[in-house]
Amino acid sequence: MSGDHHTDATTARRVRRLETLLEEKGLITGERLDEAIDAFLAESSPANGARVVARAWTDDAYRARLLADGTAAVQELGHMEGSYQRLRVVENTESVHNVIVCTLCSCYPLRLLGPSPSWYKSEAYRSRVVREPRAVLREFGLTLPDSVDVVVWDSSAETRYMVLPRRPQATEGLDEEELAALVTRNALIGTAPL
C-alpha cells in the first residue's frame, strides 16, 4: 500500500508554517521546538501500549478501567499526560476482532503505538479496511473464521483507538514484562494476532 504523498506534503507545509509563525512571534525558538518534538517522540513507542496490554491481562480491575475509560487508565501508567484526545480501548474476544483506521488522515495514538507505519497512512489501507476488512487482514496474514465478527473503528481528531488483543494461550506463568514483550504494534492496531 502506497502513501498519500499529496496529503503528507500539505501537512508538512502547514506544520512548517506554524513553526515559522511561532518563531517569528517570539513564542518559541527553533531549538526549543526541536527539543520538544524530540522529547515527545522519545516517549512514543509501541512498548508503551504493550505495557498497558500486559497490565490489563494480569489485573482484571485495571482491564475494566481501561475498557471503561482508556484515557484515565493509561494515565495511571504515565501515558497520555496532557493529551487532549480521548482514548478508547476495544477488546478482541473469541467472537469479535477489532481493527483501527483513520479514514480521513492518519489519527493514531502515537504515544502508545509509536510513529504510525506507512501503510496505516496510505489511502489504500484507509479506504479498503472499511469496505473489505477481512481481505485487508488476510493481506497482513490474519485469516479469521467466519464466526468472528470484524469491527472497524475510525479514529478522529478527538478520539483515538487501541486494540486490546486476546492474551495468547499458555502464558499464565509470564510476568508483565514478559507478556509485554509478546505484544506488537500491529496487534495493537488489530492487523496481527498474538
Active site residues: 102, 105-107
Question: Coil, strand, or helix at residue 154?
Answer: strand
102 is in an annotated binding site: yes
Q: Which residues pair with 97 in a beta bridge?
A: 150
95 is in an annotated binding site: no
Say if CB 123 and CB 4 are below 8 A apart.
yes
2 is in an annotated binding site: no
Q: Look up cell 487501541; give the residue.
A: 162
How far is it, in rounded angstroms, from Cα 62 to Cα 129? 30
**Half-sphere exposure for 99 (CA within 13 Å, toward CB):** 28
How far is it, in rounded angstroms, from Cα 39 to Cα 36? 5
Say if CB 26 and CB 156 are below 8 A apart.
no
107 is in an annotated binding site: yes
The annotated binding site for Fe(3+) is made up of 102, 105-107
The annotated binding site is made up of 102, 105-107
